[in-house]
Structure 1
Amino acid sequence: MKTEHVMIALSIALAFATLPSITQASSSNPALAGLNTAEAPRVNQAVDNRVVSSLSNTHLAFLSHATAAGNVDDAMPMNHMQLILRRSDQRASAAESLIAQQHDPSSAKFHQWLSPEEVGSTFGVHDADIAAVKSWLTSQGFTVNGVYPNKMQIDFSGTAGQVRQAFHTQESRFVVNHVTHVANAGDISVPTALREVIVGVAGLNDFHPQPLNKTPQVTQFDRSKGKFMLKQTTATTPGHPAAVNFVGGARGLVPYDMQTIYNTSSLYASGLTGAGINIAVVEDQDMDVSDWPNFVAQFGLGGYGGTFTQFQPQLTPSTGNCTDPGGNDPFSESIETVLDSEYSTAMAPGANIWVATCSDSNSTNFFGGVFAAADNLINNTNAAGRPNIISASYGYGEGFTDAASKTAIDLMWAQADLEGISVFISSGDSGSNPSYNGSIINGVGVDANSFATSSNDTAVGGTDTADVLDGTTSKYFSSTLNSVYGSALSYVPELTWNQSCGNTLAATKLVHTTALQFCKNALIYDPYGYYVTSESGSGGPSSVDAKPSWQRIVHGAAKDQSRDLPDVSLFAGSYGGYSWVILCTGYYPCAPNFTTPTVLEGGTSLSSPMMAGIQALIDQGLASDGLSANQGNAAPTFYELARNEYGGATGNPPGSLAACNSNNGPTGNSKCVFRNITEGGNSTQCIQIAAFSQVTPDCYFYGTIQNFEQFYGPTLVGLTATSTTKYNSTTAAYAAQAGWSFANGLGSVNAGNLLTAWKKFVNAP
C-alpha cells in the first residue's frame, strides 16, 4: 500500500482518536468505587510511515556476541506475535495503588477483585488508540487476530518481510551455544505518532526458557535396602568420592514425606484438602493423562476427591494462538508437566488440577506456549475459566529477555493479581543465574528469572534436607516405609539446595574446610572439571523491576532498589543427588511396591507446584470462614507474617528470629510460620573458557583447568561472588543468613501455622 493511501486509511482512526475523552464503562464492583481513570487518546496526529522512532532495548543485546548465520527468508511466517501496548503513567499508577489496597485488610477494597474486562476498561489503553494501532498493523499487511480483554496487547501474524518493512528490523539467524535461533538483529522502529502507546513486539525471537527441573533418573527399588538403585552411573561428589554413599542407593521421597515435612497433613485432618480450588499448571507440552490417576492411586490420595483436566486454554473469541502441543502418550510427554501436576496434588490432594498447555511451535513469543497458556487463562472472560492459582516452572534470566517480552510478562502477572489469582514461579536451578538450568554459568554474571521478578508473583527457591550431611537421618526418617511408601517422621532441618562444591555445609561436614578450599581440592580429584556444576536453587536481584514496598519490611532484606528473588523455598533436591521425589510417568508407571523401574526427579520445578498446593489449602481454609477463595499474590502477606517472626528491616530482631531457625528442628520451631534457613547458600561454580573469548563477571576464580572436559582447553574455574578479588561469606553470591536471603528468601513454611497466621492477618472470624 502506498504511503498516501496509508495516511488516508488511518485518518479515520485519527478522527476517532481526537474525539472527547470517554469515561470507562460503569461497574458496580466496589474495587472501582471512586476510581476514575478516564483519559483522552494519546494518538493525536496522523500516522506517517515515513516518520518513525526507534524503541530502545527491543532486541537482545547479547546477540552482538553471537555468531551470525544469515537473514531469514522474507516469506518465513511470524505467527501470533504480541504487540504490547503502553498504558499511560496515570493508569499504571492507579493499578498499582489498587493492588496495594486489595491486599490491605484495613481497606474497603480488600479482596475486591476485578474481571479481565474491568482491568481493560479501567487500566488498559484507550479504545481509540487501540483502533489506531490495529489500523496501522492492517495497513502493513498483518493479520490482527484479536485484542486481549486487558486492552494491553494485540495478537497479530505476518511474515518476516512484513516485520522488516513495518518495524525496520531484520529477522536473522544466530548460533548460541551450538543452537541456531531466530531473532531481530536490531531495535524496532514504529511510526512516531504511535510511539506513546507501543512498548514493542513480543515474539520477534525464539529463545524459549527451559523447564526448571533436574535430569530425571530411572531407578530400580531394592526392597532389601529400602533404596532406589540408579540405572545410570551417577557422579560422586567432587573432591571427595566417598562423601555420599551412592553404592547404597538413592532416597525416593513421596507425597507423605512432603506432607509431613511441611505440615499439610494436619490440615487434611480438619477437612482442608484444597477442595473447590483450581490450580493451573501452565506448560508447553502435554503429559500422558494416565499418569495422574496412577500417582493418586499409588500414594493413597484417591480418597480426597481431587480432579485432573488437561486442555488448551483459548480466548473468546479465539485468536488461535493456543494449539495442542502433543505429548499425551508415554513416549513424548513432558516430565516437567508430570512433575507439576503430580506434586501440586501431593500437597493439595482435593484440589482441581488444570494442566493448561499451548504449543511453542504456534508462536515465536519468548515464553512461547507457557506464556500463551497463562495469558489466556488470566484473560478468560468467563470467571469459571479462571483458576485460583497458577504455577509456572519455567525461566530464563532477564539478560536473555527483550524489553517487550519482559513488559508482557509483568503486565500479565499484575493482571492476575488484580483478578485475585495467586501466581507461583520457580526461581531457577543454577544459583545466581537461572539461565543455565543446572549447567555451568559462563560468560554472564548475576541475574534473576525474568518470569518471576514481577512484584505480582511469588518466587519459590529450593532447599535440601540437612539430615544426610548432618548424619541425623535416623532421627528424621524411619528405616521402613509405611503403607504409602513414606518414611519422614517430622519436619527435617533444611539448607540451601546446592550441588556444587560451593555448598558450605558439605565442605564443613565432609572435609572440615571452607567451600573455597573444598573447590580447590576438587581440582586434584577432578582435573578435567567433569563435576563442575552450577546446579542450585536460584536467587538474585532484578535489573529491571523495582523493589516492592512489602519486600523492604523484614529483617535481612537486601538494601537495594531491586525486586529480589526468591520469596520462599521448599525442597528441590539434595547435595550429591541422594534425595529425590518419585514420579509416576507413562513410560515408567508406578507399580505396587515399586517392582518396576521408577523415575526420580527434583529441581525448583518441584518447589513451585508444591507451594501452589499449600496455597490451595490456605484458600480453602479462608473460604470456609466466608472469605474470598482468591488471595491474589501471596508474597505481600508472606512478608507481613515474616516481619512478625523475624522482625523489621531495622532495629534489633525479636527472639523469634532465632527460635524459627530451621536448625532447631521440629520441636524447636513448631510454632513458627516460616523456617529460617541459615545453612549453606547458592554460590556455585562458574567458568571462563579461554577459547570462547568471553569474560564471566561476578565470579571469583580460584584455579585453572588445563583442558576443560578434555575438549575446551584452558578454563578458569571459580565461585559466583559479588567480588572478583576475594571470596568469603559476605561476597559469596549468595550465602544463607538470618532473616530473608537471596539463597532461600524467607525460608520454608509450616502450612498449618501459615493458615492460622493468615487468618489472623485478614481478620477471619
Structure 2
Amino acid sequence: MAFRTMRRRLLFTTAATAAIMGAGVCGAGAATPAAVQAQDVAIGDPVAQTIYLSLRKPDEAEAFARKVQTPGANYHQFLSRAEFVKRFAPTDADIARVKSVLTQLGYTVGLVFPNHLAIQVTGTAGATQAAFGVKLKRMTVDGRSGVVPTGTLTVPASIRDLVRGVGGLNSLHLPRPLKVKAAALQTVTPHAAGAALTGGQPGYYLPKDFADHYGVNPIYANGYTGKGATIGIVTLANFDQADAYDFWQSAGIPTAKDRITTVDVDGGTEIAPDPNLGEGETDIDVEESGGLAPGAKIRVYIAPNNTNANFIDAFEATASENIADTVSVSWGQPELDYFAQPGANIPASTDLLDAFHDVFLEMAIQGQSLYAATGDSGAFDTVRGCPAFGTPTAQDPVCNAPYSVDSPANDPAITGAGGTTLPLSLNLRSGAKLTVASEQAWSWNYIYQQTRDQGHPIALESLFATGDGGGVSSYFKKPYYQKGVRGITVTQAGQYLTEDTGSGPVKQLDLPAGFAGRNLPDLSANADPESGYQFISEGQLTTFEGGTSFVAPQFNGVTALAVEALGGRVGLLNAIAYDLGPDGSTDIKGGDNWGYSGIAGYDNATGLGVLNASNIANRLLQLKATYGK
C-alpha cells in the first residue's frame, strides 16, 4: 500500500519560477517580514504534550491495509485493536523505555493510549526546551495569540527510534470548522423549528433528499437502517444533543432517544456561546449521519482545540476504543500549515502529518471507515485563513492563492468528500437569472460568471474561492488505488505562498512541482449552500446551508447502512470506489472548483463523481458472498 510519505522536507525546495495561477494573487517580493510580537514562555509554565510513537513495522502495516481491501483470502479480515498492537504498534518494552526517559527528563507521564501510538505527558516549559531543543515563544500573529516552538525539534537519542512526533507545543496554528459560508444569494435568518420540516427543493434539502439523489433508497427498501452499527464523529466543539433529536423528529425520521454517546478526549470542551465556533459543525455531522442511518448508534469524540495535539488525540481515542464502525470529520487546516507557519517566520513540522497517518492506518486495518470533508475553499485551501483580496494589514494580511489541499482529507487512508451543485434556478433582485441545468462541480464561479455576463456582476472577492476542496497533496504520494486512473494529476508548477501585512508580499514557502501526490477528492455529493440543506443548532433552524461538511457525515451514515447489510465493517471505501469507477459513482462533467473543472473521468473537482450508494452496497455484498467467512 503506497501510503508512505514524501520524506524530504518541503520548506527549502527549489524556488518557484512561474507566476501563481488563480485570482487575486501577487508575486513574491523582498519586503520586511510579517509583524510578530513574541516573548519567551516562562520556564516554569506548565506544558501538556502528547508524544506520538512510530509503527513498529510500517511497511507491513501498509501492505496489510491494502490486503484487507483486496478481493482474496484476506479480504475484510480486519484486526482487533489488540491484534493491531501485537503486530504493528510499539511493544510494552518500547512504551516502558519511552516512559522511563521522559520521567528522567522531568515529565509526569499520564495516559498511554491503548493503541500504543501516543503517550500524554505534562512538564514545564523549561523541561520541554531542554528535552527537545526548542525555544517556546508566545506570539501574536495576524491577530491570533498562542505559543509556538522555535528552532528545530530534536528527540532525545535514547528514544529517537520510537518517537514519530511531539504534539502540544503549538497553540497558534490550529484546525478550523470547514464550513465557510452560508448561501451567497439568500438572506437567511435562523428561526425556531416548526413541527415538521419539508424538504424537496434547493436550500431546504433533508437527509431523505440525499437518499433520493444518491441511490440510498434501494438500501432502505431492503430494510436496512444501520441497526447494529456505530457511527463515529470526531469534532473539536461540543453540542446540544437536543438539537439532533429535534431535527430528526421534525424531519420525520424515527430514532431511539438514547442513541448518542459523547466521549471527552483531553478533557473535552463546554458548549461555546457562539455556534460559529464549531458547534454548528458538530450539529451537522450528527444530524446528517444519524438522519441517513436512523437505526445506528452515534459516538461523538469531543476534544478541545487548544493545541496541535488535541485533534490527533481525538483520532487516537477513536482508534483505541475501536467501537465506531464508520467515522467522519469536518474539521481541518491547510496541508501547507505543516510545511511553514506564515507570519511566525518559523518552519513547521510534517512529523504530525505522519502521526495522523499512523492512526488512520490503524483504523483502516481495524476496518473503521473514515471520511473527511475536503474543505470549502476550492482548489486554493489557504484562502480560508488568509484571503487573496483586501488591503493588507498586520491584523488582516493578504496572501496569494497557491494550489493547495486540506488536511486530514489529504491522507490516503481517508475518503475525501467533495461537493457539487444540484440543479437550481434563481431570479435575483438585480434582474439576473441564475441557472444550473444539471449537477456540476461546486464553486461560486458560476455565480460570478452568470451575473457578470448578464450585466449584474457580484464582486469576485465575495465569491472566491468558495467551492469544494480538491487538488493534489504535496506530501503524500499517490496511493495504490489511484494508480492507472485516468485524470489523476500531479502538483502544479510555480506554486509558492506569500503573505503581505502591509509592507509588500513576503514569500513563506515554495511547493514542489510535478509531485505525484495523493489526489482529492475521492467522491462527491451536493454541497453548495445555494442548493443546500436545513439543520438545527441551538434550537434554531437554518436553511441554505452547505459545504463538504455535509457530505462527509452523509457518506458516514450511508456506510452504517452497509455495515448492517454486510453484518460487518466496510473499511476504507476507496479501494472499491476506484475499482468500480463509473459503476459506483456518476461522473460529473461540468462546473469547477476555481482551479479544476469537472471533466469525463476522474478530476480534482469532484473526484470519481457523485456517490451511487446502492451500486457500492451491492458490490460489497457480492464480495462478501465470494470471500466472506
Output one character per residue of 1:354-399: Cα deviation in whole Å (capped at 9) or x when no partner. Answer: 22212234xx234x2x43232112112xx5xx11011000111221
Q: Which of the residues 42, 51, 72 maps onto 1:83?
A: 51
Q: Which of the residues 261, 267, 279 maps onto 1:334?
A: 279
Counterpart of 2:106 in structure 1: which amino acid? Answer: G
* Matching residue of 2:598: 736
User: Equivalent residues in 2 for 1:239-278 (5 A)?
Assistant: 251-278=203-230
The 1:532–1:177 alpha-carbon spacing in structure 2 relative to 1, beyond 3 Å, is farther
Q: Which of the residues 164, 171, 175 maps onto 1:209?
A: 175
Contact 1:452 1:459 in 2 (8 A): yes
Matches of 1:60 and 1:138 in 2, distance apart?
Answer: 35
Contact 2:243 2:539 in 1 (8 A): no
Matches of 2:164 and 2:11 in 1, distance apart?
Answer: 12
Q: Which of the residues 554, 559, 563 maps onto 1:619?
A: 563
Q: Deviation at 1:468?
A: 2.9
Contact 1:397 1:433 in 2 (8 A): no
Output one character per residue of 1:661-703: Cα deviation in whole Å (capped at 9) or x when no partner. Answer: xxxxxxxxxxx531111111112xxxxxxxxxxxxxxxxxxxx
The 1:468–1:177 alpha-carbon spacing in structure 2 relative to 1, beyond 3 Å, is farther
* Matching residue of 2:553: 609
1:562 matched to 2:517? The reply is: yes
Counterpart of 1:387 in structure 2: which amino acid? Answer: A
The 1:58–1:739 alpha-carbon spacing in structure 2 relative to 1, beyond 3 Å, is closer
* Matching residue of 2:439: 494
Query: Which 5+ residue runs of structure 2 have no aligned equivalent?
Result: 1-6, 14-31, 191-200, 339-348, 389-398, 429-435, 491-514
The 1:307–1:455 alpha-carbon spacing in structure 2 relative to 1, beyond 3 Å, is farther
Matches of 2:125 and 2:553 in 1, distance apart?
Answer: 38
Matches of 2:156 and 2:368 in 1, distance apart?
Answer: 36
* Matching residue of 1:630: 569
Q: Which of the residues 468, 471, 474 maps onto 1:537?
A: 468
Contact 1:430 1:535 in 2 (8 A): yes
Output one character per residue of 1:85-108: Cα deviation in whole Å (capped at 9) or x when no partner. Answer: 2345xx1111111111111121x2
Q: Deviation at 1:763?
A: 4.0
Matches of 2:577 and 2:89 in 1, distance apart?
Answer: 29
Counterpart of 2:53 in structure 1: which amino acid? Answer: L
Contact 2:118 2:316 in 1 (8 A): no
Q: Deviation at 1:60?
A: 13
1:417 matched to 2:386? The reply is: no
* Matching residue of 1:74: 43
The 1:177–1:134 alpha-carbon spacing in structure 2 relative to 1, beyond 3 Å, is same
The 1:547–1:58 alpha-carbon spacing in structure 2 relative to 1, beyond 3 Å, is closer
Secondary structure of 2:38's match? strand
User: Equivalent residues in 2 for 1:416-565 (5 A)?
Assistant: 416-437=363-384, 440-441=387-388, 442-443=399-400, 445-468=402-425, 493-499=438-444, 501=445, 503=446, 507=449, 526=459, 531-558=462-489, 561-565=516-520
Contact 1:60 1:400 in 2 (8 A): no
Matches of 1:267 and 1:278 in 2, distance apart?
Answer: 17
1:394 matched to 2:331? The reply is: yes
Matches of 1:274 and 1:498 in 2, distance apart?
Answer: 32
Q: Deviation at 1:330?
A: 9.3
Q: Deviation at 1:201?
A: 0.6
Matches of 1:198 and 1:463 in 2, distance apart?
Answer: 41
The 1:200–1:750 alpha-carbon spacing in structure 2 relative to 1, beyond 3 Å, is closer
Matches of 2:378 and 2:78 in 1, distance apart?
Answer: 36
Output one character per residue of 1:546-572: Cα deviation in whole Å (capped at 9) or x when no partner. Answer: 111111133222255211111111111
Identity over the aligned pairs, expressed in percent?
27
Q: Which of the residues 607, 612, 622 maps onto 1:745?
A: 607
Output one character per residue of 1:638-658: Cα deviation in whole Å (capped at 9) or x when no partner. Answer: 11111xx3xxxxxxxxxxxxx
1:156 matched to 2:99? The reply is: no
Contact 2:175 2:333 in 1 (8 A): yes
* Matching residue of 2:29: none
User: Equivalent residues in 2 for 1:84-123 (5 A)?
Assistant: 84-88=52-56, 91-106=57-72, 108-123=73-88
Secondary structure of 1:346's match? helix
Counterpart of 1:96 in structure 2: which amino acid? Answer: E
Counterpart of 2:356 in structure 1: which amino acid? Answer: I
The 1:268–1:619 alpha-carbon spacing in structure 2 relative to 1, beyond 3 Å, is same
Query: Which 5+ residue runs of structure 1 have no aligned equivalent?
Result: 1-54, 219-226, 233-248, 314-320, 472-490, 591-597, 624-628, 646-671, 684-732
Q: Deviation at 1:300?
A: 0.7
1:681 matched to 2:568? The reply is: no
Counterpart of 1:742 in structure 2: which amino acid? Answer: N
Q: Deviation at 1:109?
A: 1.9
Q: Deviation at 1:511?
A: 5.3
Counterpart of 2:590 in structure 1: which amino acid? Answer: E
User: Equivalent residues in 2 for 1:41-56 (5 A)?
Assistant: none
Q: Deviation at 1:68?
A: 4.2
Secondary structure of 2:259's match? strand
Matches of 1:756 and 1:459 in 2, distance apart?
Answer: 22
Contact 2:597 2:604 in 1 (8 A): yes
Matches of 1:389 and 1:492 in 2, distance apart?
Answer: 34
* Matching residue of 1:650: none
Q: Deviation at 1:161?
A: 1.6
Counterpart of 2:232 in structure 1: which amino acid? Answer: A
Counterpart of 1:450 in structure 2: which amino acid? Answer: S
Which one has more relative contact order, counting CA pairs under 8 Å at least 6 apart?
2
* Matching residue of 2:145: 180
Q: Deviation at 1:69?
A: 1.8
* Matching residue of 1:648: none
Secondary structure of 2:111's match? strand
* Matching residue of 1:583: 535
Matches of 2:236 and 2:131 in 1, distance apart?
Answer: 30
Matches of 1:153 and 1:118 in 2, distance apart?
Answer: 17
Counterpart of 1:365 in structure 2: which amino acid? Answer: N
The 1:558–1:337 alpha-carbon spacing in structure 2 relative to 1, beyond 3 Å, is same
TM-score by length of 2: 0.79
Output one character per residue of 1:41-64: Cα deviation in whole Å (capped at 9) or x when no partner. Answer: xxxxxxxxxxxxxx9969999x98
Q: CA RMSD in A?
A: 3.3
Matches of 1:458 and 1:116 in 2, distance apart?
Answer: 21
* Matching residue of 1:376: 317
Once structures 1 and 2 are overlaid, which stretch shifts more, 304-313 or 396-405?
304-313
1:125 matched to 2:90? The reply is: yes
* Matching residue of 2:263: 312
Contact 1:57 1:187 in 2 (8 A): no
In the alignment of these two chains, the number of paired residues is 540
* Matching residue of 1:10: none
Matches of 1:312 and 1:200 in 2, distance apart?
Answer: 25
Q: Deviation at 1:530?
A: 5.2
Q: Deviation at 1:470?
A: 12
